[in-house]
């Protein structure tokens, strides 16, 4: 059972979300509602919920400023938002979940099916990363939140050389020679990184085109990355990869 609160200045959105949750998700109990940063703070301090549905734009501030005012943040956060597609990518970069407005049952169900995977927000590092990503343009230098045993590590996308799939995990390799194993599939990183100059050259390998050192014709095609590793290029992706590589170098 999750004890939840809804913080949103849109009364219709609050009412719609509450009704959907009460009718379809018996494991969630709504303890209360608020429509501002001030009333939201009071609500959270009163009930100490497990789960907070939080709007970003509030009349006396933002959902971010609400989180920053809390001395202790030990609940899961699901943002409710009317933001654009690119802003939604910023949520994914920062490892937050969200429900888009207008609130529809299919959107709520998609998020609630993942509720066990939504991390508890310990500390405010991810909040700061999300704020930065929401204010950047897609051409700028985004960061990404990588889950680890202690919480999350915020890294710059341009520091990633390549990603290697390992079943339901991915190992991320960085320009400084370090790597980290994270509990996300390679497909998750496809969705996040391909818009920023990454390319899938093999079912197990996603690489940064900017960090390709050279292309080798041996063994059907290999790439040597900036970290000196050599990776096979699948025949399925070879032609498109070579075109993208040449285009990326122009």
- In this structure, the answer to whether residues 121 and 199 fall within a common structural domain is no
Q: How does pLDDT run across 157-188, given as a tens digit for each residue?
A: 899 999 999 888 899 999 999 999 988 889 88
- In this structure, the answer to whether residues 78 and 166 fall within a common structural domain is no
Q: Report pLDDT for 207.
A: 96
- In this structure, the answer to whether residues 149 and 122 fall within a common structural domain is no
Give Dmax (Cα) for the chain.
66
- In this structure, the answer to whether residues 212 and 124 fall within a common structural domain is no
Residue 115 confidence class, pLDDT cut points 50, 70, 90? confident
In angstroms, the CA 233 to CA 189 distance is 18
Q: What is the mean pLDDT of residues 183-196?
A: 83
CA neighbor of 12 nearest in space, from 43, 55, 63: 55
Burial 53-77 (b: 16+ CB within 10 A, else e): bbbbebeebebbebbeeeeebebbb
- In this structure, the answer to whether residues 108 and 21 fall within a common structural domain is yes
Q: In percent, how much of the chain has pLDDT > 70? A: 85
- In this structure, the answer to whether residues 88 and 154 fall within a common structural domain is no
Q: How far is CA 30 from CA 75, 136, 201, in A?
A: 14, 34, 46
Q: Does position 235 have pLDDT exceeding 70, yes or no? A: yes
Q: What is the mean pLDDT of residues 116-135?
A: 71
- In this structure, the answer to whether residues 90 and 164 fall within a common structural domain is no
Give 231 or 188, the one with higher predicted confidence.
231
- In this structure, the answer to whether residues 121 and 177 fall within a common structural domain is no
- What is the phi-psi region of residue 19: left when phi exceeds 0, alpha when psi lies from -120 to 50, beta otherwise? alpha
In angstroms, the CA 214 to CA 186 distance is 23
Give 35 or 68, the one with higher predicted confidence.
35
> What is the domain-level CATH number for residue 209?
2.40.50.1020
Say how many domains are in the chain: 2
Quick one: tokens of 96?
């937050």
Length of the chain: 250
> What is the domain-level CATH number for residue 14?
3.40.50.2300
Count other Cβ atoms within 10 Å, centred on residue 45: 11
Range of the domain at 107: 2-135
pTM for the predicted model, two decimal places = 0.60
Would you report the helix, strand and coil content of the chain in percent, each value rounded to 5?
40, 35, 30
């Amino acid at each position: 059972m999750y004890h939840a609160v809804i913080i949103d200045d849109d009364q219709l959105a609050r009412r719609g979300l509450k009704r959907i949750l009460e009718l379809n998700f018996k494991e969630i109990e709504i303890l209360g509602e608020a429509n501002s940063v001030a009333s939201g703070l009071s609500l959270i301090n009163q009930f100490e919920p497990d789960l907070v549905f939080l709007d970003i734009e509030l009349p006396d501030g933002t959902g971010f400023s609400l989180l920053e005012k809390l001395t202790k943040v030990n609940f899961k956060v699901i943002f409710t938002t009317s933001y654009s597609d690119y802003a939604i990518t910023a949520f994914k970069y920062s490892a937050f979940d969200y429900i888009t407005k207008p609130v529809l049952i299919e959107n709520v169900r998609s998020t609630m099916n993942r509720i066990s995977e939504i991390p508890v927000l310990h500390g405010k590092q991810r909040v700061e990363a999300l704020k930065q990503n929401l204010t950047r343009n897609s051409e700028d230098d985004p960061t990404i939140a990588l889950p680890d045993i202690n919480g999350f590590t915020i890294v710059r996308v341009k520091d990633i050389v390549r990603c290697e799939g390992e079943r339901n995990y991915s190992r991320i390799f960085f320009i400084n020679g370090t790597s980290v194993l994270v509990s996300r599939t390679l497909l998750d990183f496809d969705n996040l990184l391909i818009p920023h100059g990454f390319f899938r050259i093999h079912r197990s390998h996603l690489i940064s085109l900017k960090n390709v050192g050279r292309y080798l014709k041996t063994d059907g095609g290999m790439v040597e990355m900036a970290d000196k590793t050599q990776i096979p290029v699948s025949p399925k992706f070879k032609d498109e990869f070579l075109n993208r590589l040449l285009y990326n170098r122009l």
